């Protein structure tokens, strides 16, 4: 978990804002893939890979946030 601590928040947020939301038009891929997941239409391997690829920055941000809260860190 020390690797999460070594990642600066700025880097994590920039990656979430770019890779996590790209492409921006007509809607972010992560949003599109989440809608497909909840409607039961996520069946193609490329769609599953897209969900993982665009969701990974958000998972890292969540884990880093949980780690910071449990360790009492604010920066």
Distances (CA, A) of 73 to 7, 48, 59, 64: 13, 34, 19, 10
pLDDT in tens, 31-43: 988 999 999 998 8
Buried/exposed code over 17-39 (b: 16+ C-beta within 10 A; e: otherwise): eeebbeeeeeeebbebbeebeee
Among all chains, which residue has been given the structure tokens 């990974």? 56
In this prediction, residue 64 has a pLDDT band, given cuts at 50, 70 and 90, of very high
The per-residue pLDDT of the chain, averaged, comes to: 88
Burial (CB count within 10 angstroms: exposed 0-12, middle 13-18, buried 19+), residue 54:
buried
* pLDDT the model gives residue 38: 94
């Amino acid at each position: 978990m020390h690797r999460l601590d070594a990642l600066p928040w700025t880097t994590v947020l920039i990656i979430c804002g770019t890779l996590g939301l790209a492409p921006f038009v007509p809607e972010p891929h992560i949003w599109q893939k989440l809608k497909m997941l909840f409607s039961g239409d996520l069946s193609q391997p490329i769609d599953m890979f897209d969900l993982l690829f665009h969701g990974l920055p958000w998972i890292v941000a969540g884990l880093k946030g949980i780690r910071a809260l449990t360790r009492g860190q604010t920066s």
